Amino acid sequence: MSVRPSTDTVRRAARKPFGLADVAVKKANGEPIVMVTAYDFPSAQIAEEAGVDIVLVGDSGAMTVLGYPSTVPATVDEMLMLCSAVRRGLTTPLLVGDLPFGSYEVSDEQAIRTAQRFIKEAGCDGVKLERGGTSVQRAKAIIDAGIPVMGHIGLTPQTATALGGYKSQGRDASRALELIKDAEGLAGAGCFSIVFEAIPSRLSEVIMERVDVPVIGIGAGPSTDGQVLVFHDLLGIYAGHAAKFVKQYAQIRNAMIDGVAAYTDEVRAGQYPQPEHEYTMRAEEVTKLRELLG
C-alpha cells in the first residue's frame, strides 16, 4: 500500500482544533457549522483534510459499514470500535459518538455509563442521543456527569417503527408542537447542539426562534446553524435508498467497482503484477539458497 501526502496540507496545518465553545461561537457569528459522519480511519482522515468542524460517528454506520438493515442492531462495542478508528484519524474536528439504541434509555445510570465508555475508551469529545421525552432526562444526567451531549429530534431512525417508518416529521401542527417541546427540553437540559432531521424548513425556522442552542440540520432546510450529511451518501458509496435531503457530491462507488474490476481482470489475464511490482533477490543468493536446499 502506498502512502501519499495530503493534497491540502496547508489548509490542514492552518487549522486549530475545533472545540465545544467554537460551536456556539460559529452560531453567534452566523458562520455555518459543517458536520459529516465518519466510521473508520480513512474516512476520518478525509473529513480532517476537507476541513469539517464536527465529525459524528453516527449509528448510520450500522447500515453504511456494518451492513445491518437499520441502525437498531448496532451495539455499544461496535460503535466504540468505529469511534476509536475515527479518533485515530482526526486532529482538529470535534468528535461526537452516537449512543446506539438500547444503550441509554433504561436509566440515567445506564446512559452515564455508556456515555463514559465513549469518552474513556474511544476518545470522543461528546455523545449524541435521539428523541425528546425521556431522552431529555438522560441528556441532562449525562451532561451533569460532565459529558457534552448533542440532541437529535425529528426523524429519529432508532425509533422509526414507532414513527410509522422513515418519514419526515412535524408536518402537522400537533406533531410540530411535540418537536418544539422536545427541542426546548433538550436545550433546557444543556445540550451543546441539536440535530433536526427531516422536518419542514418552516418548522425549523419556528424552533430556531425559540431555542438558542446551535442546530445542525439534515433535511431541515437552510435556517439551521449548520448541516450534516452521511459520508457514504454524499460521496455516493452506499447503494441503499437515499433520502430526499441527500445531495451526492461524488460517485465513489462506481469508481471503486471499476478499480476492483480492473484489478480482477488484470490478475485473470496475467497482466498484474508487472516487474515494477516485484522484489528482487541477487543471483548469488538464489544459488546459495538452492545449495542450502540441497
- Phi and psi (nearest 5°) for 232? -70, -25
238: cell is: 452506499
Scanning residues 124 to 153, which ones bind ligand KIV (CB under 6 A)? 152
- Maximum Cα–Cα distance across the chain: 88
65 binds ligand KIV, rule: CB under 6 A: no
DSSP code per residue over 86-130? HHHH-SSSEEEEEPPTTSSSS-HHHHHHHHHHHHHTT--SEEE--
- Phi and psi (nearest 5°) for 149? -125, 135
Spot the catalytic one: 197, 209, 278, 285: 197
| Minimum CB distance to ligand KIV, residue 110 (Å) | 20
98 binds ligand KIV, rule: CB under 6 A: yes
User: CB-based contacts of 145: which residues, under 8 Å, 6+ apart?
Assistant: 112, 115, 116
Q: Which residues pair with 226 in a beta bridge?
A: 33, 216
Q: Is 49 a catalytic residue?
A: no
63 binds ligand KIV, rule: CB under 6 A: no
Residue from 43, 45, 60, 224 touching ligand KIV (CB under 6 A): that is 60
> Do 39 and 55 meet the contact criterion of CB atoms below 8 Å apart?
no
174: cell is: 400537533
Q: Judged by CB, which is closer to ligand KIV: 185, or 226?
A: 226
- Phi and psi (nearest 5°) for 135? -65, -20
Site string for ligand KIV, 186-215 (x = CB under 6 A): ---------x--------------------
Q: Which residue has the cell 430556531?
A: 208
Distance CA 99, CA 210 (A): 26
Q: Which stretch binds ligand KIV (CB under 6 A): 55-63, 166-174, 243-251, 270-278?
A: 55-63
Strand, helix or coil for residue 49: helix
Q: Which stretch binds ligand KIV (CB under 6 A): 58-66, 244-252, 262-270, 271-279?
A: 58-66
Q: Which stretch binds ligand KIV (CB under 6 A): 47-55, 57-65, 76-84, 134-142?
A: 57-65
| Minimum CB distance to ligand KIV, residue 215 (Å) | 12
Q: Which stretch binds ligand KIV (CB under 6 A): 53-61, 86-94, 112-120, 183-191?
A: 53-61
58 binds ligand KIV, rule: CB under 6 A: yes
Residue from 127, 230, 234, 235 touching ligand KIV (CB under 6 A): that is 230
* Count of CB atoms situated within 10 Å of the CB of 91: 10
> Do 132 and 181 meet the contact criterion of CB atoms below 8 Å apart?
yes
37 binds ligand KIV, rule: CB under 6 A: yes
Q: Which residue is nearest to ligand KIV (CB)?
A: 58
Question: Would you name the residues annotated as active-site residues?
Answer: 197
Residues lying near ligand KIV in the complex (CB under 6 A): 37, 56, 58-60, 98, 152, 195, 218, 228, 230
